[in-house]
């Protein structure tokens, strides 16, 4: 596991953290679900548990995706880009990935100079997060 983590180029520096880009993609449909940051510790926890862990730049801590909502991301495949600074995680998404209640965080589309909601809301965030 250590040799895998050493291959990642955590070159994004933010608030003293060394980060890489993490893209979560639906394993079955290839729909992009979300983009976040990951540090070495979050990657180690992801590799060890098989559940996605990220580094929250706003909260300045590692978080398990689904720790509040129970909408976990179960890792099925991991790919790393040529520079080693971005990882693509193919996951089985449990319910919705987006904290706003949509399956994907990419639920809006820019069309004819307007932003349109094109995704279907799966849950009401107030019911899940209070």
pLDDT digits (tens, 9 = 90+) for 46-90: 999 999 999 999 999 999 999 999 999 999 999 999 999 999 999
Q: CB burial class (10 A; 0-12, 13-18, 19+) of residue 123?
A: middle
Whether residue 128 lies inside any domain: the answer is no
Count the domains in the chain.
1
82: domain range? 2-123
Domain containing 66 — which CATH number?
3.10.20.810
Tokens encoding 67: 């720790």
Residue 129 in any domain: the answer is no
Query: pLDDT tens digits, residue range 12-53?
Result: 999 899 999 999 999 999 999 999 999 999 999 999 999 999
Distance CA 101, CA 104 (A): 9
Q: How far is CA 93 from the centre of its chain?
A: 10
pTM exceeds cut of 0.75: yes
| Residue 83, C-beta contacts closer than 8 angstroms, at least 6 positions apart | 9
């Amino acid at each position: 596991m250590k040799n895998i983590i050493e291959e990642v180029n955590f070159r994004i520096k933010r608030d003293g953290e060394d980060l890489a880009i993490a893209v979560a993609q639906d394993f079955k449909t290839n729909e992009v679900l979300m983009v976040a940051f990951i540090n070495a510790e979050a990657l180690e926890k992801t590799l060890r548990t098989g559940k996605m862990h990220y580094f929250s730049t706003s909260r300045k801590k590692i978080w398990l995706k689904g720790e509040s909502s129970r909408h976990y991301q179960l890792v099925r495949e991991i790919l790393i880009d040529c520079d080693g600074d971005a990882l693509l995680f193919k996951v089985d998404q449990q319910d919705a990935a987006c904290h706003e209640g949509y399956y994907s965080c990419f639920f809006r589309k820019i069309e004819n100079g307007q932003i349109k909601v094109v995704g279907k809301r799966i849950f009401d965030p107030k019911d899940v997060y209070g």
